Structure 1
Amino acid sequence: MKHLEIKPGEKPPTRDFPTEKGFSNANLQPAEVKVHPSGSGDENASIFFVGTATTILEWEGIRVMTDPNFLHAGDHVHLGPGVTGTRKTNPAIDLHDLPNIDLVLLSHYHADHFDQKVEESLRRDLPIITTPHAASHLKGKGEGEAFTEVYDLDFYNNMLVDVKKDGAQPGKSPAIKVTGMPGKHVPSGVLGSLNDLVNAVPPTNGWMVELGYNTSGGSDDSFKCGYRIYISGDTLMVDELKEIPERYKGQNIDLMLIHLGGTTVPSPSVPLLMITMDAKQGLELVRLINPDLTIPIHYDDYDVFLSPLSDFKKAMEDAGLSSKVVYLDRKDQYKFQVKQ
């Protein structure tokens, strides 16, 4: 298992924050705070929804950001040969107004998950966990532009992020175990083989993020999980996902962040190929993974989405699963409890 040590700090997430504004490490201010329908009352961690697939996880003084995309309405992204997407919404917070970020989870090297402004602006020593494909791009930039703390995880590879927090209990320090999960933007077969040949759509990961504590010395077998989050990433409902519940049999999955939208290329008006789950596939994944709770993300921020969130809401209602999902608007926060 790979290891990474992080000490929550006061560094700005970007290297080019406006000097006239300075850097503020103030807490995020949610528009609305939501909890599990059963509500434990002892919530000690949170997820803030920025927009598209960008979220900020806060726990034990550390902040983890997923798939940073901070473009605004009207901005464009390149999604493949001859394919562009236009953003329809604004993020809940601007890139240069972010508080400190300690770690980035990047599911794949696609501009709607790591946009051109993010790529230009993020500080180069910000730790990033991502796919081997994305890592090669981020580390392969020219002198002064390459990202220096990039860690690649393939499917089912994992690493332990040790949180070096002042005042941690002796013999019990917070840690995050990150495991790469399978995902496919393009289905197997002729289309998949063609995509592999021309590299039109990049390979993608999901993640299993386990929040917990090292109980003795930080060895690989001393980690005890207190909360488990599965992040689907940009994937279709492919056979490879069926291995996930087998590998985690007997281990509860507390939360799933599911990427939806039914992304189509080249556009919803010419839907030649769907590359992320629509509502039907999303319901299939909920049934397969069977998390305690699901939060849908990545569903309406760009004009390439064919399946609106309302489709997923109806599918969950028709399946009798409405109590197993929480919906967040941009700038909403979900709070939950990590057990010790």
Structure 2
Amino acid sequence: MSPALDADVTFIGNATTLLRLGTFTLLTDPAFGPAGSRVHLGWGAWTRRLRDPAMAYADLPPLDLVLLSHLHGDHFDRAARRALPSTLPIVTTPQAQRRLRRRDFTTTGLPTWDAREWRRDGQLLRITALPGRHGPGLVDRLLPDVMGSLIEWEVDGAPRLRLYITGDTLYRPHLGEIRQRCGEIDAMLIHLGGTRLLGLLLTMDGRQGADLTGLIRPRLTLPIHYDDYAVMKSPLSDFLTECRNRSLTRVRALERGETVALSPAL
């Protein structure tokens, strides 16, 4: 297959991935600080990075855009802010858009269920903002708005890939609307880790991750965002065990720096 018709993902660390979808190249949730660096989470809270990213920003190929699920320090850290050119388009939440524009970044804010499209060489890339909740109950209002994303890639009018990136959402049954509206999901990048602050669960742990995997039923599930920072309390093994106990197959662990093909034929 021609490289212009390939689709793959490289896991860099935490929620940072490199997506090559035909003629388009995307970076998700850029965080390039080394192990030992501190990131701020708001309201005086901070955490320390435990693992180095697999790549530096300078190692990346030319990018078309950055997809930012929300504006937390472990998803857009100081190293990324220094490295990203201000002209590189960032697609994110309307709340993050307002803040990043004050720093002169080029941003597009997508309300939930809104979409943006790009076309090149007979290929189409469409990003749709999907629902997400970062915290339980009223706590969610104290945290940055978060979005999931549906990335659709088409070639000559024919669908080639439908990828769901969950963002830092907790599991809620209403996320089933994603499958109802968007149809079958070819692959899912699921944010896990069981992040806890002051005892509150702020990202899916193994049990909630398996709940969402069973709800969405993607053809391939790739777990990310699970052990890079000290606030993450649910190891990847929790999720893999839950999936195994529920007979949820087509789940694949990713090593840092590893590249995996994404295909509707999985």
1:191 corresponds in structure 2 to 139
What pairs with 1:285-324 in structure 2 (closer than 5 Å)?
Answer: 285-321=212-248, 323-324=249-250
Q: Does the 8 Å CA contact 1:183/1:232 hold for their aligned counterparts?
A: yes
Distance 2:36 2:225 in 1: 17
Structure 2 unaligned runs (5+)? none
**Matches for 1:51-130 after TM superposition, within 5 Å:** 51-130=13-92
Select the residue among 158, 171, 192 that pairs with 1:237.
171
Quote how far apart the aligned CAs of 1:237 are.
Answer: 0.8
| Aligned partner of residue 162 in structure 2, secondary structure | strand
Report the Cα distance in structure 1 between the residues aligned to 2:179 and 2:60, rounded to whole angstroms: 35
Aligned to 1:162: 119
Q: 1:253 aligns with which of 185, 190, 194?
A: 185
Residue pair 1:44, 1:338 contacting (<8 A) in 2 also: no
Partner residue of 1:212? 154
Which structure has the greater CA radius of gyration?
A: 1
CA distance in 1, matches of 2:165, 2:139: 25
Local SS of the residue matching 1:328: coil
8 A Cα contact 1:52 1:301, kept in partner: yes
Provide the residue aligned with 1:48 in structure 2: 10
Alpha carbons of structure 1 residues 79 and 261: separation in structure 2 relative to 1, 3 Å: same
State the match for 1:264 in structure 2. Answer: 196
Q: Tell me, yes or no, if the aligned pair for 1:187 and 1:238 is still in contact at 8 Å.
A: no
Tell me how many residue pairs correspond in the alignment. 261
RMSD: 1.6
Provide the residue aligned with 1:174 in structure 2.
123
Give the TM-score normalised by the residue count of structure 1: 0.74
Q: Secondary structure at the match of 1:68?
A: coil
Write out per-residue CA displacement over residues 15-64 of structure 1, whole angstroms, 9 at most, x where no aligned residue. Answer: xxxxxxxxxxxxxxxxxxxxxxxxxxxx8211000000000011223210
- Return the offset for 1:225: 2.1
Given the superposition, is the C-alpha separation of residues 239 and 317 from structure 1 closer, same or farther in structure 2, using an over 3 Å criterion? Answer: closer
- Preserved CA contact (<8 Å) 1:68 1:115: yes
Which segments of 5 or more consecutive residues in structure 1 lack a partner in the other structure?
1-42, 216-223, 267-271
CA distance in 2, matches of 1:336, 1:256: 10
For 2:253, which of 298, 310, 327 is the aligned residue? Answer: 327
Q: Shift of residue 117 of structure 1?
A: 1.7
How far 1:137 sits from its partner (Å)? 0.8
Counterpart residue identity of residue 212, structure 1: E
1:336 equivalent in structure 2: 262
After TM superposition, the structure 1 = structure 2 runs for residues 29-44 of structure 1, keeping only pairs within 5 Å, are: 44=6
Task: Give the % identical residues.
Answer: 41
C-alpha contact (below 8 Å) 2:136/2:201 kept by paired residues: no
> Which secondary structure state, in structure 1, belongs to the residue aligned with residue 232 of structure 2?
coil
* SS in structure 1 at match of 2:209: helix
Distance of 2:262 and 2:250 partners within structure 1: 14
CA contact (8 A) 2:186 2:264 kept: no
Relative contact order (C-alpha < 8 Å, sep 6+): which is higher? 1
CA distance in 1, matches of 2:86, 2:156: 28
Q: For 1:244 and 1:58, how far apart are their aligned partners in 2?
A: 23
Q: Partner letter of residue 159 of structure 2?
A: C
- Decide whether the 8 Å contact of 2:195 with 2:203 is kept in 1: yes
What letter is aligned with 2:33? Answer: L
Distance 1:86 1:76 in 2: 4
Contact 1:259 1:296 in 2 (8 A): yes
Q: Which residue of 2 aligns with 1:20?
A: none
CA distance in 2, matches of 1:72, 1:95: 12
